[in-house]
Chain A
């Protein structure tokens, strides 16, 4: 079984701070991590390989330093990894990212299952997974919380999954190949052993640029290929009404004054 996992290196957004004076992001010292949702995708890929054999290939697109994210998932157990890195990819929005990842997946050969995290914690869009599936012309099932069964015969095979949707839990079946995006209920990602971390650090991970992706058209890559444009970045606005800070001698007095005001404003 050929399994592809798409991962993203993201800044640990829980650590991102805002400069209170300038209102800009303070990026210095913010650690880079593998997008947490992608770790569930990697774990699920490794579980599938254990059951069905085959190969797990991790792919990421990013700057050269994103190779460290790939080393991390190789240490978890991925067999192969590919870094997509090229100045031509810079500034990609979700459309151009899907296009580029799909081209790389095609280059790796026939695939049975593609796994992605449900979204990345920096962009929070959840758009790249379904976008890849459309580019490849394959089916997609999002928000998968459990894989119930995989049957490889008769070809092309089927997969049955449970999905967490707004109203409850759906059980659905798809023909293979399929792209799944996974939620964190699906498993508990393994920790890499020290020996595997060392092995991953020594592994040669190929970097593919635009020239290594057959059939891609440069007009669909990077900023040029991205339909969206970020035109403004701002700190979030405050509300029109200024806050009234309640000052009192004791917590009970402060609480009492607040309750008075809420009752007077008919909030309760």
Chain B
């Protein structure tokens, strides 16, 4: 739980607090007192410190309706893994640029890590006007608490109006932690962001209810307005190496001993199912009828050099592993060609693939919602149509 705060500059090392602590939460480290996680905020030490070096932490909730006009600018967190920026980060910078221009304001990128100076220059090239750069050994590997502490501190000081975070696994946890601490709204997995022309508020659109409806969400009274967006929802911007902008170094906020997490090991695993980068995806849904039904889907995918996707219904039924799932709870994809076989097209599925360049729907049911987003449709039995397509593609692509 939260602990008291010791001002290391003020502490004279008298040890009075150590003696009085009822929970054995204080000890001397060299000539300053340090606190451990047994602290219960009982405040016994506050009264005995002769130099007032001990204080209670700032309350988690700093409530009160903020002065909205004081909050300006669009911010993006640029996630990096081992010094390489993640693709979703540049997509967020591109979208942040668009929103900042619409709002007539500046775009700020936040780059945290260790030895990540090159990423700051990339952020400017992709569209940031300014970069906050926190470079410290404690930030080398992502951990939520030290990252959130830096960003919460920057938000409190510089007051951005909008803060976008990529909906990666780290990004979701980071954004949740920041929003919880700042007491502001956070909308997860947005598929659309826009500025409301009347109020100037950020309109955040996301699928809800298992993806069966689209909800538009506002955060009218608190700032910043925070949203996460998944990889491949927005187009990545083009980099312009000629752009320039200030890179402002900011310090880490926590020492290593104040961080509860230690990362011991990381094994990079490449999924054999690379849906995110596939140019062509052939997907099967409830209509394939069972695990064997994916045979014809795989044959077509082989003929096209395509990846195999699946709807949530097929994955939930246990016909194919989760790695293949396309949709709101699976992968978001935007291939050149998406062939949906026996997939009716719940919003949850459409949310993950409707930005594909060309969509083909094959379904027995002429009223299947997927036909509404498709460019080409064939109404019929997929077990006849799909093998026929495999034959045709093999013939045509050979010649």
> Could you list which residues of chain A lie within 8 angstroms of chain B, going by C-beta atoms?
11, 13-14, 16-18, 20, 25, 93-95, 98-99, 121-131, 133-143, 155-156, 160, 164-175, 177-178, 184, 217, 219-220, 226-239, 241, 243-247, 250-252, 254-256, 258-259, 261-263, 265, 267-268
Contact = CB atoms under 8 A, between A and B. Distances in A.
Contact of A137 (B1, B360, B371, B372): B1
Interface of B: 1-2, 37-38, 57, 60-61, 63, 81, 86, 144-145, 148, 168-170, 172-173, 175-177, 179-181, 183-189, 203, 207-222, 260-269, 304, 312-313, 316, 322, 328-329, 336-337, 347-348, 350-351, 354, 357-361, 366-367, 369, 371-381, 384-385, 387-389, 391-393, 396-397
A228 B221 CA distance: 9
13 contacts: A13-B210, A99-B61, A122-B210, A124-B207, A124-B210, A127-B175, A142-B172, A167-B268, A168-B269, A172-B262, A226-B185, A229-B217, A239-B372
A13 B214 CA distance: 14
Contact of A95 (B185, B214, B261): B185
B379 A170 contact: no
B224 to A, nearest CB: 11
Nearest to A229: B218
B185 to A, nearest CB: 3
Nearest to B192: A237
A177 B261 CA distance: 11
A229 to B, nearest CB: 5
A16 B344 CA distance: 13
A226 to B, nearest CB: 8
B214 A227 contact: no
A167 to B, nearest CB: 5
A152 to B, nearest CB: 14
Q: State the 4 A-B residue pairs at the shortest beta-carbon distance, nearest first.
A: A13-B210, A137-B2, A227-B185, A139-B260
Nearest to B387: A251
Main secondary structure of the interface of B (DSSP, over half): mixed
Contacts of B385: 251, 254-255
Given A136-B1, A233-B213, A244-B376, A171 B358 contact: no
Given A172-B262, A239-B354, 4 more contacts: A131-B177, A228-B186, A234-B214, A259-B393
Given A124-B328, A125-B189, A230-B217, A254 B378 contact: yes
Contact of A227 (B38, B86, B208, B219): B219
Contact of B389 (A129, A234, A258): A258
Given A95-B180, A131-B176, A137-B60, A125 B216 contact: no
A113 to B, nearest CB: 13
B218 A258 contact: no
Contacts of B329: 121, 124
A259 to B, nearest CB: 5
- Which one of A234, A236, A238, A252 has the highest number of Cβ atoms from chain B below 10 Å of its Cβ? A236
Nearest to B397: A268
Given A227-B185, A244-B375, A258-B376, A168 B267 contact: yes
A232 B371 CA distance: 25
Contact of B209 (A13, A160, A220, A268): A13
Contact of A172 (B2, B60, B184, B261): B261
B265 A236 contact: no
